[in-house]
Homo-oligomer: A and B are copies of this chain.
Amino acid sequence: MTKKILRVNMKTLETKFEDFPEKYAALGGRGLTSTIVSDEVPPTCNPLGPHNKLIFAPGIVTGTKAPSSGRISVGCKSPLTGGIKEANAGTKLAQMLGRMQIAAIIIEDKNEGDDYYTLKVTQDSAELMNANKWVNRGLYEVYKEIFDEFGEHVGIAGVGIAAEMLAANSGVSFNDMEGLPSRYAGRGGVGAVMASKGLKFMVVDETGAPGVTLADEEVFKQGTKKLAKSLATHDVTKPHGALNSYGTSVLVNIINEARGLPQCNFQRGQSEDSAKVSGEAKAEAVKERGGTRPHACHPGCIMQCSEVWTDKQGKNPVGVLEYESVWALGPNCGIYDLDIIGELNRACNNLGMDTIEAGNTIAVAMDGGFLEFGDGQRALELMEEIKNKTPLGRILANGTEFTGKAFGVTRIPVVKHQALPAYDPRAIKGIGVTYATSPMGADHTAGYAIATEIMGVGGEADPLDTSKAELSRNLQAATAVVDTAGYCLFTAFAVLDIPEGLEGMVESVNGVLGSNLTVDDIGTIGMSILKTERDFNKAAGFTKEDDRLPEFLREEKSSPSGEVFDVPDEELDKVFAE
């Protein structure tokens, strides 16, 4: 085992490389961050105190030539959910760490002074340097300065103004391929954990990296070839396919049609205005104004679902406008203007915030009457409040539930204190089962039932059927494995439908690890990771009552579906029943 772990103590400012423990040999990405959190973080600790740890880990195949595998997991105890958290992003930095054979970076303890630090990681060294000049500033500007200072070739991870307030809506931002701070391990307040330790940025320079060691190059090549072929042929993932042509926002029209695109803080599930912010409309606009589309979030991606959104003059590039962001900052706030949504998304990136949480936050403030649904200008002003760290900004930066409480709102769409993504669980029940039961809080990526319920991927399922425990469980387990291997979740569209693709994915992992895993092992491995996560949550005080959707979604009918979330508690409890 030539891999290593970098351990950084923010109290003593000491850094050291350690051997990668044999017991972690088969782990990477989420499997590794969750296991280290489970092993080293007391479940009842204060998430913003010295006992929490923040762990960065590239996936098992990340850094190889495996397609669409440039993912990095960020793990810790979440200050938003109070449970274990893994958030991941696609970014070149992930691949650099893989090639440097750094299996994980563990940030521990916390700095007791008022200074912020940048951690510079090279192949042989890790050094903390003062970062105070970048405090209280927007990340677009700061990332430029970091590239100027450290060179265009580095990878950056960083936290923004929201995290400086230790606010629960604060993500860890990574640079995209244009150097923009637009790739996010967004959810659960992982940014606040990083900032709480006094760490503001991490800069990675892979010069001299040996590359990922392949235990069996033949098997690896064979596997990646199969996987690449499946990605290149599936309708969702292929060149000029759905994701490549329109990005994730291809879902806007589809989910709206399915009556599951929440409008105005989940008051309705459909609006004819939604088409104005669809993936098709956005692709057209990108083309007109000279933005970039398609675009990869990291080198080696076949799907290239990303883009660079700009203003009408083709200026002020934002980075990608993902479906979730467009929905959260758009229809869910009654806003149907891509330029306003783009500006809001830019503000989130600039401040270091998760767009899903931010959009839901604005929506509950609207629901509480603090501003009108549809008032994009006022929503943009709210972002300035956060930037200025005003009391109002502090409310908003702490997320949806916090803002709902501040404004006396009882319709607060959260599970485990984390805001719901872009699918109304009343009209599409399986995704609601995932929201309710994922150890991460409401998270669509944790077990993307939409694939089967709406897109017919991996089989078919009636969105209104309430028997979704098995579907959600299987998807949650598979996802945990994909997040551990280091593949983009979107590879699942292909491999769920094309058996050879799935085989190839497993073979690529075997090629790196020298293991003999088969497709049949995926469920077992995934459930084992989920058990580690759920055990942590249980020790932190979670019970089955935390695996529930909020009252209003169970009692208030969505329109036009006329549905409530009526999956019985017993069905929810079956997802992880012994």
Contact = CB atoms under 8 A, between A and B. Distances in A.
Interface in A41-63: 43-46, 48-49, 51
Contact of A541 (B46, B168, B543): B543
Contacts of A546: 541
A21 interface: no
Nearest to A393: B391
A119 B43 CA distance: 47
A386 to B, nearest CB: 12
Interface stretch (A142-150, A311-319, A394-402, A445-453): A394-402
A214 interface: no
A499 B408 CA distance: 49
A406 B395 contact: yes
A165 B408 contact: yes
Interface string A402-417: 1001111010000000
Interface string A135-146: 000000000000
A545 B44 contact: yes
Contacts of A402: 402, 405-406
A392 B385 CA distance: 12
A550 to B, nearest CB: 7
Contacts of A166: 405, 408, 410
Interface residues of A, number: 36
A540 interface: yes
A539 B165 CA distance: 34
Contacts of A406: 391, 394-395, 398, 402
Interface string A534-558: 0000011111111010111000000
B394 A46 contact: no
8 contacts: A49-B552, A51-B551, A166-B405, A167-B408, A391-B392, A392-B392, A540-B545, A541-B543
Nearest to A538: B543
Contacts of A552: 46, 49
Interface in A148-187: 165-168
- Counting chain B CB atoms within 10 Å of each CB, the highest count among A48, A49, A392, A545 belongs to A545
Given A49-B410, A391-B395, A405 B168 contact: yes
A68 to B, nearest CB: 37
A551 B45 contact: yes
Q: Top 3 A-B pairs ranked by shortest CB distance? A: A541-B545, A166-B408, A391-B392
Interface in A326-361: none
Contacts of A49: 410, 551-552
